Amino acid sequence: MQVTRIIAIRHGETAWNVDKRIQGQLDIGLNDVGQWQAAQVAQALGDEEVDAIYASDLLRAWQTAQAIAEVTGCHPSPHVGLRERGFGQFEGLTYAEIEASWPDMSRQWRQREPLWAPPGGESLVALRERVLATVSGLAAQHIGGQIIVVAHGGVMDMLYRLATGQGLQAPRAWELGNAAINRLLWTPDGLTLVGWADTSHLDQAVRDESIS
């Protein structure tokens, strides 16, 4: 059977994550917490057999991938198909600012209308097609092996929906944590879910620090 194992990682925390500011495809780096999270997830993956690491070329994902590369010894390759959803005119703004300036568009966004896109941005349908094509294309190059994919919250959300059959408008009841470990299987028939939102490597590190 043609199977590729995928470890999908969202980048570590950024200052804009904390501020609830839309990053989209703006190039924001990790904050101190995010750099720590990247180091922790790297250590957690140190014993994994990895054939390739692919990462969004945006700095926050690339920094996370580089931390993983230092431990696994597998050099990351950038891929624009793993970028966050393009939010166009919304990028750089907070949720509150978007609601105040464009209440109608904010409603369409909250209701997850599949074909709606922010001005200059991507629709959910376009994002899903991009994520599926990118991840399927990468996984098909490593049949029988395992790859790490480092990307963004929107990409992780699409991977979960694709693997579980959740529709684009289904309310999200799953976590998209920074530096969480998510595991999937890819075959030519699609994605299936193995494990999701493992943050034990982050929890254990916090407990260890509180003891010392």
Q: In whole angstroms, what is the distance from residue 2 CA to residue 111 CA?
A: 37
Catalytically annotated residue among 13, 84, 91, 122: 84
84 is catalytic: yes
Instruction: Select which of 11, 79, 122, 152 is catalytic.
Output: 11
The SS3 of residue 197 is strand
Is 99 part of the annotated catalytic residue set?
no
What the block records as the tokens of 173 is 């009841």
CA atoms within 13 A on the CB side of 144: 1
CA distance 131 to 154: 9
Q: How far is CA 140 from CA 45, 49, 63, 181, 189, in A?
A: 22, 17, 25, 21, 11
Catalytically active residues are 11, 84
